[in-house]
Structure 1
Amino acid sequence: MVIRKAVKTDAKTLLQFIKLKAEFDRSMKGFSGEVAATVEKIERALFVDTPYAYALLLELDETVLGFALYHYRYSSFSGYASIWLDDLLVLGGERSKGYGQQLMLAMREQADAELVSHIAWTASPYNIRAHDFYKKLGAEIERMEGQRPYFRWELT
């Protein structure tokens, strides 16, 4: 298993995973829109001199099985950057094998090296398996908006 940063030639794969994530989110009643991302938009956002977002890919035998898409935020009040996790997905048949945990730990390792204060994200209120997974990692629910939890994973 290898976890690596996505490169420009991965844009098509990223789009495929974004579409799969949208389908999964629809099944969890967490997304009802359409995916407007394109390969070109992904290339312009992730693979330029000043990227708006970043992605990690998890591969096994050169086949991508999962991804994490994230971007940085900065708090002028705390003086620290944080990471907002936009998407985390492991292919359906590959779940519960530790790959999601490995992606999260790789993102955390990178965040620790960059002195990021925390990683944050939200999840569908209906995705209880994900809630349990995030809590086992050490993340806590920072707040609720209606039934939707917002998670925060403190870094030390």
Structure 2
Amino acid sequence: MIQALAEYEKLSHSVTGNPDALGEHLFGNRPYAEAIVAQWQDKIVGFALFFLNYSTFLTKPGIYLEDLFVLPPYRRQGIAKAMLSYLGQLAVARDLGRLEWSVLDWNQSAISFYQQMGATVLPDWRICRVTGEALNNLATINSEESLL
């Protein structure tokens, strides 16, 4: 499913993870994320992977939806809508402040869907990301004055 998502997003070259790590991060002693799956006639046809974040403005935790994906043949059947609604129910039940996620700017069908579901697409925000060698370099800045 993750590879299918990466292909849809034109990001296949970015997938470097492995199933064992994913299993550990979802089901290990210290889970970092949660996931829900959508089934159609005993076949997994979609998933949502999410984790907690925190809003200093709301002073409440929230849910960050990392991925929401439904296989192409199963789209437009209410599956993504049901998963997003479930995450909304989960946020309300857990007394969380918000549910948020990112969407690729070229994915107009997803943007329209999210807006129909009540989401506001924030035009003034950009994602900042540090990975790989850049992350290692960042970790060494002022390392002699470590704050940890």
Q: TM-score, normalised by structure 1?
A: 0.75
- Cα deviation, residue 62, structure 1: 1.3
Describe the superposition over 1:87-120 as per-residue Cα deviations: whole angstroms up to 9, x where unpaired: 1111101111111100101111111110111111
The match for 1:54 is: 34
- Cα deviation, residue 44, structure 1: 1.6
Describe the superposition over 1:10-35 as per-residue Cα deviations: whole angstroms up to 9, x where unpaired: xxxxxxx1111111111xxxx36421
Alpha-carbon contact 2:63-2:100 (below 8 Å) kept: yes
The match for 1:23 is: 7
Q: Greater Rg, structure 1 or structure 2?
A: 2
Q: TM-score, normalised by structure 2?
A: 0.79
CA distance in structure 1 between the aligned counterparts of 2:13 and 2:52, rounded to whole angstroms: 24
CA distance in structure 1 between the aligned counterparts of 2:55 and 2:74, rounded to whole angstroms: 36
Provide runs of 4+ in structure 1 moved above 3 Å: 143-146
SS in 1 for 2:30: coil
Aligned runs of 1:86-97 on 2, under 5 Å? 86-97=66-77
What percentage of residue pairs aligned between the two structures are identical? 28
Matching residue's letter, 1:23: E
Matched residue count: 127
CA distance in structure 1 between the aligned counterparts of 2:30 and 2:92, rounded to whole angstroms: 21
Q: Which has the higher strand share?
A: 1
- Let me know the Cα RMSD of the aligned residues: 1.7
The match for 2:17 is: 37
**Does residue 105 of structure 2 align to residue 121 of structure 1?**
no
**Larger relative contact order, structure 1 or 2 (CA cutoff 8 Å, min sep 6):** 1
